[in-house]
Structures are given as structure tokens and as C-alpha cells.
């Protein structure tokens, strides 16, 4: 089934685009959330994202085990939105997981999954070079993750100012 990868900057409209696309495709939808509510700001962001979803959404939290969540029976034959790969990558790095291995697992799943998956990720390589080694390592890992996922997805869109620009498909 088709997979769509939606990229863009912070507050560009990526999540809204993913939700609209999913809602246009099916009434059977699942939202896979990767954010960990570790502080008040993140809790507020999560509440805001929940308020954007209309009724009819199931939610699965997958801070680290994204491929397991996507492989579950709760996702099969539904339209699935993963929001977002940037937070998932941050979680992986924070917990010192093997990012390359997890990326390969995700891309392998995308190549053989039965449902429709819409993935959201930030494009972080368009800004300033981060000051710290950790910041630069994250930016580089995000760029590699985005390239790998874009390679295996059927459709890739870049969202700027709420407007989707088709890059692939």
C-alpha cells in the first residue's frame, strides 16, 4: 500500500497536512505518537496536536518501538499517521539506541507493510550549523534518516507555509 513522507520546517503545517490526507483516505485511522511528555512545554504541544484531530482516531504511543507499533494488529488495514520521526530519532539518540539499525528496521517495514502510512518529519538541514557536537550529530542523523525514508516512500511532500510541494510520486 502507499506510503507518504511529509517534510518541512517547524510549524510549517506538516502535521495538519498529514491529518487532512489521512482523513480524506479513510475513517479507519490510527495516530502513532512519538513524543515523550517530559516537560510542560511538550505536554502543551501534545494537547494542541490532540485537539487538531477529529473524532475517529485511535492513538498509539511509540517513543522508541516504532516498528513494533506499526506492525501491531491495531494498525493493519488502517491509515496510519506517524508524527514525528524527528522526535523518534531524538528519543533513540537519548536512549543510546542504534539509529542505523532502527532506520533499517523502519525502512524494511515500509517496504513490506500492508496499510497506508503517512510519516511526518522535520527538515533540519536548512538552518544554521548547530554549535554543539551533539546538535551536529543530530542534524546529520536526521538528514540521513530523511533520505532513507524518502527513498522507500511512494510519495514525498515538502510543506512550507502550510502549502504542500510534491517532491516524489
Residue 12: which CATH number? 3.40.50.300
Q: Residue 1 above 70 pLDDT? A: no
Domain count, the chain: 1
Residue 133's domain spans which residues?
A: 3-168
Grid cell of 103 as nine digits = 532506520
pLDDT category at 45 given cuts 50, 70, 90 is confident
Strand, helix or coil at 131? coil
Q: Residue 54 above 80 pLDDT? A: no
Query: Residues 82, 112, 150, CA angle at the centre, nearest 5°?
Result: 55
pLDDT computed for residue 36 by the predictor: 85
Among the listed residues 25, 2, 17, the one whose alpha carbon sits nearest the alpha carbon of residue 154: 2
pLDDT computed for residue 8 by the predictor: 97
**Residue range 98-120: average pLDDT?**
93
Q: Residue 160 above 80 pLDDT? A: yes
110-140 tens-digit pLDDT: 988 878 999 999 999 888 899 999 999 999 9
Grid cell of 145 as nine digits = 534518516
The residues carrying an active-site annotation are 49
Amino acid at each position: 500500500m502507499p506510503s507518504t513522507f511529509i517534510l518541512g520546517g517547524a510549524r510549517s503545517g506538516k502535521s495538519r497536512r498529514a491529518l487532512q490526507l489521512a482523513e480524506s483516505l479513510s475513517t479507519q485511522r490510527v495516530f502513532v505518537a512519538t513524543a515523550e511528555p517530559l516537560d510542560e512545554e511538550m505536554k502543551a504541544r501534545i494537547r494542541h496536536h490532540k485537539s487538531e484531530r477529529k473524532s475517529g482516531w485511535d492513538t498509539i504511543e511509540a517513543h522508541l518501538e516504532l516498528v513494533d507499533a506499526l506492525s501491531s494488529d491495531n494498525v493493519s488495514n488502517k491509515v496510519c499517521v506517524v508524527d514525528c520521526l524527528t522526535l523518534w530519532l531524538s528519543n533513540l539518540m537519548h536512549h543510546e539506541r542504534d539509529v542505523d539499525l532502527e532506520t533499517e528496521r523502519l525502512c524494511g517495514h515500509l517496504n513490506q507493510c500492508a496499510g497506508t502510512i503517512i510519516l511526518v518529519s522535520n527538515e533540519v538541514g536548512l538552518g544554521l550549523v548547530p554549535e554543539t557536537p551533539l546538535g551536529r550529530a543530530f542534524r546529520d542523523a536526521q538528514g540521513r534518516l530523511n533520505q532513507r525514508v524518502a527513498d522507500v516512500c511512494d510519495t514525498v511532500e515538502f510543506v512550507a507555509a502550510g502549502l504542500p510541494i510534491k517532491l516524489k510520486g
